């Protein structure tokens, strides 16, 4: 059985550079529902606007995070993961890159 974890944190120097459309349970792209990963150096921030979503980290071991309205899930660079809607949901993903520290 997957374990529940504390959410990862974005590095303090990570800045958003792109955002997806807002997805619902009916419009989640199929690629997000199965194993996928961000590019090296790219972090993802899953922002749940309403409803419930499971964010599942697939490596090095399976970890699950239940995200509800106003919750944020952090996707680390290069880590395989997937999401699963738990009924009606609305969310988007914001992509961030780490900038050099000042």
Span 54-69, pLDDT tens digits:
999 998 889 999 999 9
Residues 6+ apart with CB under 8 A from 1: none
C-alpha distances in angstroms, 100 versus 9, 14, 86?
17, 9, 38
At residue 12, the pLDDT reads 86
* Count of alpha carbons within 13 angstroms of residue 25, beta-carbon side: 11
pTM: 0.87
d(CA 69, CA 52): 7
Domain segments of the chain as ranges: 27-98
**Helix, strand or coil, per DSSP, at residue 12:** coil
28-32, 41-45, 69-73, 97-101: segment of lowest average pLDDT: 97-101
Identify the residue whose tokens are 């955002």.
Answer: 19
- pLDDT tens by residue, 86-98: 999 999 999 999 8
Q: Which two tokens stand for residue 55?
A: 């964010």
At residue 5, the pLDDT reads 44
CATH fold for domain 27-98:
Jelly Rolls (2.60.120)
């Amino acid at each position: 059985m997957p374990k529940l974890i504390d959410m990862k944190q974005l590095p303090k120097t990570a800045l958003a550079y792109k955002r997806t459309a807002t997805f619902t349970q009916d419009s989640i792209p199929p690629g997000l529902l199965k194993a996928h990963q961000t590019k090296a150096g790219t972090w993802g921030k899953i922002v749940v606007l309403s409803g419930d979503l499971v964010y599942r980290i697939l490596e090095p071991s399976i970890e699950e995070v239940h995200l509800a309205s106003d919750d944020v899930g952090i996707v680390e660079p290069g880590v395989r993961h997937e999401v699963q809607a738990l009924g009606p949901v609305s969310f988007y993903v914001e992509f961030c890159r780490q900038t050099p520290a000042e």
